[in-house]
Structure 1
Amino acid sequence: MKVINKDISQITIPTPFAVGDTHVYLLKGDKLSLVDAGVKTKEAWEALTSQLKQLNYSPNDIEQIILTHHHPDHIGLIEEFPRVKSIVGHRYINPFLIRDEGFIDNYIEFFKTCFHVNGVPESFQSEMEKERKAFDYFGRGELTEFIDQGQNLPGHEDWSVIETKGHAQSHLSFLREQDGMFIGGDHLLQHISPNPLIEPPYEGQNDRSKSLLQFRSNLIKCKEASIRTVLPGHGPVFSNVDEVVEHQLSRQEQRADKVYQYLKKESASPYQICKQLFPKQYEKQIGLTMSETIGQLDYLENEGLIEKDLVNGQYVYETK
């Protein structure tokens, strides 16, 4: 637990995921709000309640929950606060909270189809069904208010909402311009590079969003904003925003160049490229590694350096 200033405190919560601990933030204003809600485990709840107690609060004192995005380490405990009447976030979070079965079925089916067309062997298809179990870590509930770019946080009118899609299509961050405080969720991290995850099209969309391109654009947006201090979802609080953004962009470009150099030698499917990029990780983390690979291919294609062709129902990429 860390008191950031008189109206913001950071609470650190364990997760069962490789990313490690996650941070949530207690925000004082016209309402007492919790920004994000950890993962749905006993250990997370014990850590959260213990640190609230150190701050002289209890779960009964929380009036509102504000969500940066829909991932399970950020929305897991939303139903544990008896006085919460307001849960706010991007509208794309809602299907995950209400456990819309049709949405979940389509979500799983999208990845099965996506992986097939990108060359992933059938032996990995069962991994997609395991994704249903990830929903066990999600809290159940429903957003009471949708927020988006250009609005202010309810109960905290000095905080503005900034769209930061990329890591998730539901991702929002929050900036207080008067002192440059930035609650960044998983968009802006100092110690690791967030993985811009591919997701199915949402209602009203025909195609999946190109998450890595969104992520890059929104990183640059952060350079142009008046951010002085980043309060992240993982890792240390930091202030060297320009340096971190440049490092993230450079690291991504280096990985894209590795893909480009490989394709200069031979054409390949995304799965074949994934194995080259992540030889030790791809079998155990096929979803994450394929998201990263497809993102790099989206980037190179957008730069006009490569093109793809559909061969026997599967994509093959080559340089132009």
Structure 2
Amino acid sequence: MNIHKIVLPTPFPVGDVNVFLVKGEALTLFDAGPKTTEAYETLKTGIRAAGYEMKDIDQVILTHQHPDHAGWIDAFPKANILAHEYVDHWLRQKPEFLEYRDQFYQYHMIRQAVPERYIEKMLQIRGELELLGTTPLTHFIQDGDEMPGHPGLKAHYTPGHAQSHLIFVDEKTNTAIGGDLLLETISSNPLIEPPIDLSMDRPKTLLQYHQSLTLLKDLNVSKLYTGHGNEIENVNELIDFRIKRDHKRAKQAYDILSEPKTVYEVTQKLYASLYKSELGLTLSKTIGELDYLEQEGLVKVELVGDVLIYSRT
């Protein structure tokens, strides 16, 4: 791939985000940073440093819908915008979708025994949507699709961190644009999100994430261009390390279940210093670990009233 990396600032704890300008039969920008003035100016400067102007971009392809990756699609009104179909719901932000989103999270937080005062606070946090673009998709990407203007560059569906997540593998060079699937120094959190079918069923995101990492390992990519941080060349070794660490954390969750507990109670024990300030993140991580233990047959779950109770088998 003829690829030019542009590093953009974000207001998020994760820090800077990487976007990639790829020259082929089409001039393509992979991801677009958050919708802030600082990111816009840096993006414009980066595109100029590669010898182009913003108006030269033919298409923007998104790895997933999170606002640090999908903000400045609005800066390219004449370009095609491509991503997984699920992304379109977030970009359009229709009232019925936002209402469904709130209902989904409220329903599952009640089942997790999250106190009502926290549920109300978390549902009010929509600030990140302000940093997300609002230009609808022009094309939907499906698993296995070849990217327009880039022969041999194919999409692979890799949910877990996000329900819309895609990576793009160049079959000629065996390199890939990986979004947030695997990062050099930090873990890609398997965040709880509404499912792509917009039902009330909760995706088991850690299990999805491990399946996506296994897919990446099977692809045997030689170099991964990541959404944050440096490129990765020891891809398969790092995948093994990440999965092993998830297993270790799941063991800690198992130890906490000496007596039956709710998701919220396990989260309080597992992330005692973090859960109050990062409740959504820590709940997602705890649920993932409990899903893993349930899959391994080590715990069982039953619905007591409106609340899920986990216990050892």
TM-score by length of 1: 0.95
Within 5 Å, give how 1:1-320 maps onto structure 2: 7-84=2-79, 86-203=80-197, 205=199, 207-263=201-257, 265-320=258-313
Q: Give the CA deviation at 1:204.
A: 6.4
Q: CA deviation at 1:199?
A: 1.4
Q: Secondary structure at the match of 2:303?
A: strand
Q: Deviations over 1:156-183 (max 9, x none)?
A: 1220111111001100000002111110
Alpha-carbon distance in structure 1 between the residues aligned to 2:43 and 2:124: 28
Unaligned runs of 5+ in 2: none
Paired letter, 2:5 = Q
Q: CA deviation at 1:117?
A: 1.0
Please report how far the alpha carbon of residue 12 of structure 1 lies from its aligned counterpart in structure 2 after TM superposition. Answer: 0.3
Aligned-pair CA distance for 1:316 = 1.1
Supply the distance in 1 between the matched residues of 2:24 and 2:48 (Cα, whole angstroms). 19
Could you list the structure 1 runs, at least 4 aligned residues long, displaced by more than 3 angstroms after superposition. none
How many Å separate the matches in 1 of 2:14 and 2:88? 24
Give the secondary structure class of the aligned counterpart of 1:9. strand
Q: CA deviation at 1:132?
A: 2.1
Distance, in Å, in 2 between the alignment partners of 1:209 and 1:270 is 16
Q: Distance in 2 between matches of 1:133 and 1:312?
A: 33
Query: Distance between the aligned counterparts of 2:73 and 2:200, measured in 1?
Result: 31
Deviation at 1:131, TM superposition (A): 2.7
SS of 2:38's partner is helix
Q: CA deviation at 1:145?
A: 0.9
What amino acid sits opposite 2:23 in the alignment?
K
Deviations 1:91-110 (A, max 9, x none): 00001111121111111121
Give the AA of the match of 2:25.
D
* Unaligned runs of at least 5 residues, structure 1: none
Amino acid at match of 1:280: S
